[in-house]
Chain A
């Protein structure tokens, strides 16, 4: 196992022990540690940001309660447990087609979402559309703009797009990578200006 991963497992195990011991600040630390990856997984599984927040909330409640009761057998594998819980919660919500909100961790969660390093975490869909619009406005090459639009909106195959636009795979990936980096920078700049 890589050293960084082993180190992270130890950190997670200590976090689990602090929650078990009733350290109130440990619960906030747990949310900070796992909110972003759980949101990413939830958004992927649910396909909708609003429902994804239900998954994040429900997942962290389940994890917190299990930790408080000392029911997680191997705390070094806390991340795997959180991930599997998130997947199960998402599947459960999809099956039941219901939305469930509780107040147990709600306020704390949204305070932490304000602080977290994901600048898109609390944005409404329309706000994200506006950010992407700004990104497109900045892009000087129409071919690259069209490439992104057809990829994301029409879901056209990468190989077909590369063929049509006479691009290499590497160039296609670079366009996407630059777009992600720039969008993130725009979002972070916008968030900083609102603080």
Chain B
């Protein structure tokens, strides 16, 4: 399709073709399959964008390669398997893992890889830290995450978390909440379906000076 035709599609759908121009254009829709397809897609674009907040366009979250969606499927499965057992999983320290994005604390498995806790190295000058938990798709509960520093028992909680379209819970916390040490984090879902058993994560934080 020529750009001039594309421009006429835009003007027509935007309501900016009038009189004879509009009549001619509409007559062409009955004869030209390609033009009709362009108009249908343009109408869908206009409809779709009308329901979209600006934030969805501007604040596109860059996903690092290691955060591909399929990595989170085992965790979703963990949730489902845990229904009704009322058991907590406990972290075990065997293997450490350094995350490539130190400002992100991404809790991706309750037991940690190969049974060990994840270790997050966070730059000392970082103020906010993004905590993410991948729970998978299909969970419409409101979640709370309670984080406790094992060394001294200090606890902070994040309430009102909801999964985004990719099944990810995200919260920003001040970096001073996460000083050097070993932590447990308990995720609880409130209301909604399916019923969920609390899940406990273990992780370590190392602040880079």
Expressed in whole angstroms, the minimum distance between the Cβ of A11 and any Cβ of chain B is 11
State whether the Cβ of A180 lies closer than 8 Å to any Cβ in chain B: yes
Other-chain residue from B39, B44, B47, B60 in contact with A142 (beta carbon distance below 8 A): B60
The interface bits of chain A over 75-96 (1 if a CB of B lies within 8 angstroms of the residue's CB, else 0) are: 0000110110001000000000
State whether the Cβ of B30 lies closer than 8 Å to any Cβ in chain A: yes
Q: In the complex, which residue of chain B has the Cβ closest to the Cβ of A121? A: B40
Chain A interface category by residue count: 35 or more
In the complex, chain A residues 3-50 whose Cβ is within 8 Å of any chain B Cβ = 4-5, 8, 34, 36-37, 40-41, 43-44, 49
State whether the Cβ of A177 lies closer than 8 Å to any Cβ in chain B: yes
State whether the Cβ of A167 lies closer than 8 Å to any Cβ in chain B: no
Interface size on B, residues (CB 8 A): 39
Tell me whether A120 and B3 are in contact (CB under 8 A): no
Tell me whether A149 and B52 are in contact (CB under 8 A): yes
- The tally of CB-CB contacts under 8 A between chains A and B is 136
Tell me whether A37 and B36 are in contact (CB under 8 A): yes
Tell me whether B6 and A177 are in contact (CB under 8 A): yes
Known: A79-B31, A132-B47, A158-B10. 14 other contacts (CB 8 A): A44-B15, A44-B26, A83-B26, A131-B48, A132-B49, A135-B48, A142-B58, A148-B45, A149-B54, A149-B57, A173-B3, A173-B10, A177-B6, A181-B41
* Chain A residues engaging chain B, CB cutoff 8 angstroms: 4-5, 8, 34, 36-37, 40-41, 43-44, 49, 79-80, 82-83, 87, 117-118, 120-121, 123, 125-126, 128-133, 135-137, 142, 145-146, 148-149, 152-153, 155, 158, 169-170, 173-174, 176-177, 179-181, 183-184, 187
* Chain B residues engaging chain A, CB cutoff 8 angstroms: 1, 3, 6-7, 9-10, 12-15, 26-27, 29-31, 33, 36-52, 54, 56-58, 60, 165
The 5 closest A-B pairs by CB, nearest first: A132-B48, A180-B41, A152-B49, A129-B51, A79-B30
Pairs across A and B, CB under 8 Å, 30 listed: A4-B31, A37-B29, A40-B40, A40-B43, A44-B43, A79-B27, A83-B26, A117-B33, A118-B37, A118-B40, A120-B44, A125-B51, A128-B47, A129-B51, A130-B48, A131-B48, A133-B165, A136-B60, A142-B57, A146-B58, A152-B46, A158-B10, A169-B3, A173-B3, A173-B6, A177-B6, A177-B38, A180-B45, A183-B41, A184-B40
